[in-house]
């Protein structure tokens, strides 16, 4: 009688992991990057003293936080700025998405490319540029406004506008997020079946009524999810509140954490950890709402299996005013701040534009920056951080998304939730969590704190949520039969992924890589929190110049950074178009 060997469960599990070792190992590494620092942050909120030398367990940090009037003031300010800024962002982004995709506005293709350019201006440079334009006494625009009012006998000693105010922060916040929200909603406008709008017109509804009663309600899930995403991004904003808010005595949650753990004397890491935990819980609630809206969005599906061509709406006499609105937006978000930074970069020290100042124009700031002894290490650190973070983020996302989409691994839903969880954690909190984790035993013995590696880890955690969303949707489009055919031919899962799946979704992978690379180059909160002399990057050097009052040097370094980022941002559109074509 022949006996049949029944494989034991342990051997089956071992065989499965042996065949998929790289995807599972990288997934374990990613979970380590996400969970350990955030768990350490939670523990630090219950400890007194320095993370490296804790002085015991306590609830005093929470008692102190909840008894601080400044905490409630910062919380209220954060919510107000984020709510009003999101409304402004959403209104502008939805208007431009409709104008560019569905109307006959002139130069629509050019506008599509130009609307990506604001992404190339780091948030800190955007804020610093507007500080030079709208500073109460020396701002260029304020001086022009005072001269104009003088003609009518109205005199101001300063102002009339003040960027160092809550109104100024709302203005900056509302403009900064337009590109991201535009990218989130423009696809919905492009792919919407126009038959519903045509039916409305047959029913004698005019264009305005059809837009507000048919188009917007049909696209409401996409718009609501973009609104919540924008609100989450506004809540974690750091650059504007640091450059504009702190000089004006205005705190938000992100700058309160920075002030508590980096500026005040003595530093209070436990209190900073409490602020970080509260911040994280708030964002998790928002993230739950975002996922709920996205999960039920299929109820509003407007794309059918039949072929259709989106109808271009004629806006008649409003064609050129619409183009004028876009030009105004571009000048406000890109033209004005870039030009004032460019002007400042050519002066020995900043002066308001005038004939006298024009005679002082020089390239000495650029020469001085390029001859700095540490410029080589700053450039190297910045480029290494960009390549390392973007490549690691996209590769990790690729393998993790394959496990989520393709395998029958138990707990795939939990894995998907964990990889999306960092989207609810502001960059300042991620940096604080890494600081706590790698200053405390046993991780402090790895000597990672103060190196380029800890910055890369921070950016990987920050952008893994975006990367996995992109890879999930891309891998779903590749039929699993292609991978199964490779297995039949004897290829291992890892080789199949790298030789077949990755080339097929390369446009999406490349778009994600460039998106992450651009955001790493312009990233500010994580490098500022985790910087040291050994891992300094462009953004930190720029802030150091500005903080010391060296406005011209900071402007020159900022202009150099923008010149590098703009081509990368424009290249990204090519891959975005390729991804859109694949989705069709």
pLDDT of res. 96: 93
Query: How far is it, in rounded angstroms, from Cα 117 to Cα 115?
Result: 6
Count each helix (H run) and each strand (E run) in the chain, helices first.
31, 2
Per-residue pLDDT tens for 442-487? 888 888 998 999 999 999 999 998 888 888 878 887 777 777 777 7
Quick check: is 505 in a domain? Answer: yes
Ramachandran quadrant class, 238 (left: phi over 0; alpha: psi -120 to 50; beta: rest)? alpha
> Average pLDDT, stretch 388-414?
87
* Same-domain status, 147 and 214: yes
Query: How deeply is 514 buried, as exposed, middle or buried, from its count of CB atoms within 10 A (0-12, 13-18, 19+)?
Result: buried
Number of domains the chain is built from:
2
First to last CA, the chain: 59
Query: How far is it, in rounded angstroms, from Cα 347 to Cα 338?
Result: 15
- Whether residue 335 has pLDDT greater than 60: yes
* Same-domain status, 382 and 516: yes
Query: How far is it, in rounded angstroms, from Cα 270 to Cα 261?
Result: 9
Of 302-306, 394-398, 422-426, which one has max mean pLDDT? 394-398
pLDDT band at 488 (very low <50, low <70, confident <90, very high): confident
* Same-domain status, 480 and 389: yes
pLDDT band at 299 (very low <50, low <70, confident <90, very high): very low
pLDDT of res. 192: 63
Which of 362, 385, 415 is the last residue in one of the domains?
Answer: 362
Find out whether the peptide bond into 160 is cis, omega within 30 degrees of 0. Answer: yes
Quick check: is 208 in a domain? Answer: yes
- Least confident piece of the model among 256-270, 309-323, 372-386: 309-323
pLDDT band at 366 (very low <50, low <70, confident <90, very high): very high
Per-residue pLDDT tens for 57-105? 899 999 999 999 999 999 999 999 999 999 999 999 999 988 998 888 9
> Average pLDDT, stretch 272-300?
75
Q: Which range of residues forms the domain containing residue 328?
A: 88-242+285-362
* Same-domain status, 537 and 392: yes
Quick check: is 234 in a domain? Answer: yes
3-state DSSP: the chain helix, strand, coil percent, rounded to 5?
Answer: 75, 0, 25
Coil, strand, or helix at residue 57? strand
* Same-domain status, 306 and 340: yes
pLDDT over 70 percentage in the chain: 86
What is the pTM (predicted TM-score) of this model? 0.85
- Least confident piece of the model among 77-86, 418-427, 569-578: 569-578
* Same-domain status, 347 and 391: no
- Whether residue 584 has pLDDT greater than 70: no
pLDDT of res. 202: 55
pLDDT of res. 302: 47
pLDDT over 90 percentage in the chain: 35
Query: How deeply is 366 buried, as exposed, middle or buried, from its count of CB atoms within 10 A (0-12, 13-18, 19+)?
Result: middle
Quick check: is 370 in a domain? Answer: no
Which position has the higher pLDDT, 195 or 557? 557
Cβ neighbors of 365 (< 8 A, separation 6 or more) are: 345, 346, 347, 348, 552, 553, 555, 556
Which of 362, 392, 424 is the last residue in one of the domains?
Answer: 362
Degrees to nearest 5, angle at CA 384 with 381 and 385: 80
* Same-domain status, 437 and 546: yes
pLDDT of res. 92: 94
Coil, strand, or helix at residue 49? strand
Query: How far is it, in rounded angstroms, from Cα 286 to Cα 231?
Result: 9
- Whether residue 544 has pLDDT greater than 70: yes
Query: How deeply is 347 buried, as exposed, middle or buried, from its count of CB atoms within 10 A (0-12, 13-18, 19+)?
Result: buried
pLDDT of res. 483: 74
> Average pLDDT, stretch 389-411?
87
pLDDT of res. 304: 44
Mean residue pLDDT across the chain: 84
pLDDT of res. 532: 82
pLDDT of res. 328: 95
Domain CATH code at residue 432:
1.10.3720.10
pLDDT of res. 490: 73
* Same-domain status, 344 and 425: no
Quick check: is 367 in a domain? Answer: no
Domain CATH code at residue 321:
1.10.3720
Q: Residue 57 forms beta bridges with which residues?
A: 47
Which tokens go with 535? 């891992």
Quick check: is 273 in a domain? Answer: no
Per-residue pLDDT tens for 507-535? 888 888 988 998 898 888 999 999 888 88
Query: How far is it, in rounded angstroms, from Cα 293 to Cα 76?
Result: 25
* Same-domain status, 302 and 387: no
Decide: 380 and 514 in contact? Cβ < 8 Å: no
pLDDT of res. 116: 87
* Same-domain status, 201 and 346: yes
Q: How many residues does the chain have?
A: 584
> Average pLDDT, stretch 271-275?
92
- Report which of 339, 318, 341, 337 is spatially closest to residue 175, judged by C-alpha positions: 337
- Report which of 36, 32, 41 is spatially closest to residue 436, judged by C-alpha positions: 41
Quick check: is 145 in a domain? Answer: yes
pLDDT band at 128 (very low <50, low <70, confident <90, very high): very high
pLDDT of res. 2: 47
Quick check: is 257 in a domain? Answer: no
* Same-domain status, 358 and 382: no
Which of 308, 330, 362 is the last residue in one of the domains?
Answer: 362
* Same-domain status, 381 and 526: yes
Which position has the higher pLDDT, 159 or 91? 91
- Whether residue 359 has pLDDT greater than 50: yes
């Amino acid at each position: 009688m022949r006996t049949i060997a029944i494989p034991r469960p342990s051997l089956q599990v071992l065989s499965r992991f042996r065949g998929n070792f790289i995807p599972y190992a990288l997934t374990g590494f990613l979970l380590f990057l996400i969970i350990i620092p955030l768990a350490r942050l939670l523990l630090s909120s219950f400890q007194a003293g320095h993370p490296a030398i804790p002085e015991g367990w306590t609830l005093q940090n929470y008692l102190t936080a909840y008894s601080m009037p400044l905490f409630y003031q910062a919380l209220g300010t954060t919510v107000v700025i984020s709510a009003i800024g999101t409304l402004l962002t959403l209104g502008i982004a939805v208007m431009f998405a409709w104008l560019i995709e569905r109307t006959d506005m002139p130069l629509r293709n050019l506008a599509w490319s130009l609307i990506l350019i604001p992404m190339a201006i780091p948030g800190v440079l955007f804020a610093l540029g507007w500080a030079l334009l709208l500073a109460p006494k020396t701002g260029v625009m304020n001086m022009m406004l005072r001269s104009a009012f003088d003609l009518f006998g109205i005199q101001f000693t300063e102002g009339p506008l003040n960027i160092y105010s809550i109104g100024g922060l709302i203005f900056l916040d509302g403009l900064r997020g337009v590109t991201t929200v535009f990218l989130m909603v423009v696809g919905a406008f492009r792919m919407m079946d126009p038959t519903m709008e045509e039916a409305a017109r047959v029913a004698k509804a005019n264009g305005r009524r059809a837009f507000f009663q048919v188009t917007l309600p049909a696209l409401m899930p996409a718009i609501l999810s973009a609104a919540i995403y924008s609100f989450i991004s506004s809540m974690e904003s750091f650059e504007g509140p640091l450059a504009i808010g702190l000089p004006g005595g205005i705190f938000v949650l992100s700058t309160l954490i920075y002030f508590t753990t980096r500026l005040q004397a003595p530093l209070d890491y436990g209190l900073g950890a409490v602020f970080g935990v509260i911040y994280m819980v708030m964002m998790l609630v928002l993230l739950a709402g975002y996922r709920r809206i996205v999960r039920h969005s299929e109820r509003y599906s407007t794309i059918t299996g039949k072929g259709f061509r989106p109808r271009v709406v004629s806006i008649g006499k409003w064609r050129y005013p619409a183009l004028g609105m876009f030009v105004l937006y571009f000048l406000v978000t890109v033209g004005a701040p870039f030009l004032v930074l460019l002007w400042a970069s050519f002066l020995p020290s900043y002066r308001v534009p005038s004939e006298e100042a024009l005679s002082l124009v020089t390239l000495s700031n650029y020469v001085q920056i390029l001859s700095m002894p540490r410029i080589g290490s700053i450039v190297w650190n910045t480029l290494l951080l960009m390549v390392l973070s973007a490549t690691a983020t996209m590769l990790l996302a690729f393998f993790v998304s394959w496990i989520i989409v393709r395998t029958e691994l138990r707990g795939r839903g939990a894995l998907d939730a964990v990889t999306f969880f960092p989207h609810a954690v502001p960059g300042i909190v991620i940096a604080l969590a890494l600081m706590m984790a790698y200053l405390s035993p046993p991780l402090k013995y790895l000597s990672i704190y103060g190196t380029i590696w800890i910055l890369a880890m921070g950016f990987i955690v920050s952008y893994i949520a975006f990367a996995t969303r992109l890879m999930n949707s891309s891998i779903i489009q590749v039929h699993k039969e292609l991978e199964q055919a490779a297995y039949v031919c004897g290829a291992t899962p890892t080789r199949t992924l790298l030789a077949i799946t990755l080339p097929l979704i390369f446009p999406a992978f490349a778009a994600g890589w460039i998106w992450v690379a651009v955001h790493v180059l312009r990233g500010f909160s994580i490098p500022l929190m985790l910087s040291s002399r050994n891992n300094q990057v462009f953004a930190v050097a720029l802030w150091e110049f500005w903080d010391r009052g060296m406005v011209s040097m900071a402007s020159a370094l900022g202009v150099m950074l923008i010149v590098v980022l703009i081509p990368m941002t424009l290249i990204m559109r090519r891959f975005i178009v390729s991804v859109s074509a694949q989705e069709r």
